[in-house]
């Protein structure tokens, strides 16, 4: 008879991610790919010549500051949720939504400045690219504002707190991602005008 030892194996923890977070990250990767292809096309088209060089609207500088402030407000709401500070969760989310709407307003004002400089959507590809890139980013900001508002409703219903961080965590990830994306796009357009 063989003497078999009972060896206990150590079970290593598996890396898990909530399915909703996984879906969010897949979505963010697809957004990265869209904007990477657009900026690549921008560079390729620029090198072909017949490119109108123009200064970016001053409103784009202001909207960059607003997007940074909105990320600060979102972080404030996230930290407040970790501390179960319901008043500050709501305040941070409201500030984020208001700053997001302000960002969109400044983008529209930036387009008006471009029209005043005789840079139109149809015409030279340089202007067309700026309109399309900023417009597509603006659409994502609209979707993010909707996400923030849904999160705000949950905050008013006291569903966001230290033991239930999924919704505000996903909201913050999406918002910060779009802020970083705007800064990348803005710097890109400053370098390649």
Residues 13-57 have pLDDT tens digits of: 666 888 899 999 999 999 999 999 999 999 999 988 888 889 999
In a domain, 110, yes or no: yes
In a domain, 144, yes or no: yes
Interatomic CA distance for residues 14 and 77, integer angstroms:
30
**pLDDT of res. 30:** 97
In a domain, 117, yes or no: yes
- How many structural domains are present in the chain? 1
In a domain, 25, yes or no: no
Coil, strand or helix: which one is 164?
strand
The domain containing residue 94 runs over which residues?
Answer: 55-191
Determine contact, residues 134/38, Cβ cutoff 8 Å. no
The yes-or-no verdict on residue 1 having pLDDT over 60 is no
In a domain, 13, yes or no: no
- Of 3-17, 146-160, 179-193, the one with minimum mean pLDDT is 3-17
* CATH label of the domain that carries residue 185: 1.20.120.80
In a domain, 28, yes or no: no
Coil, strand or helix: which one is 161?
strand
In a domain, 90, yes or no: yes
Residues 121-161 have pLDDT tens digits of: 988 899 999 999 999 999 999 999 999 999 999 999 999 99
In a domain, 69, yes or no: yes
């Amino acid at each position: 008879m063989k003497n078999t030892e009972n060896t206990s194996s150590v079970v290593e923890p598996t890396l898990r991610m909530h399915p909703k977070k996984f879906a969010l990250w897949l979505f963010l990767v697809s957004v990265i790919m869209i904007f990477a292809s657009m900026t690549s096309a921008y560079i390729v088209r620029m090198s072909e010549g017949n490119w109108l060089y123009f200064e970016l609207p001053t409103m784009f500088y202001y909207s960059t500051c607003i997007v940074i402030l909105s990320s600060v407000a979102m972080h404030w709401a996230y930290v407040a949720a970790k501390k179960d500070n319901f008043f500050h969760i709501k305040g941070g989310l409201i500030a984020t939504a208001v700053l997001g709407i302000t960002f969109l307003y400044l983008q529209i004002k930036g387009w008006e400045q471009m029209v005043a400089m005789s840079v139109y959507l149809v015409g030279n590809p340089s202007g067309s690219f700026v309109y399309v890139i900023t417009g597509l980013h603006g659409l994502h900001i609209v979707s993010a504002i909707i996400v923030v508002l849904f999160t705000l409703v949950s905050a008013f219903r006291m569903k966001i707190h230290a033991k239930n961080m999924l919704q505000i965590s996903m909201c913050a990830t999406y918002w910060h991602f779009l802020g970083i994306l705007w800064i990348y796009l803005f710097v890109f357009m400053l370098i390649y005008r």
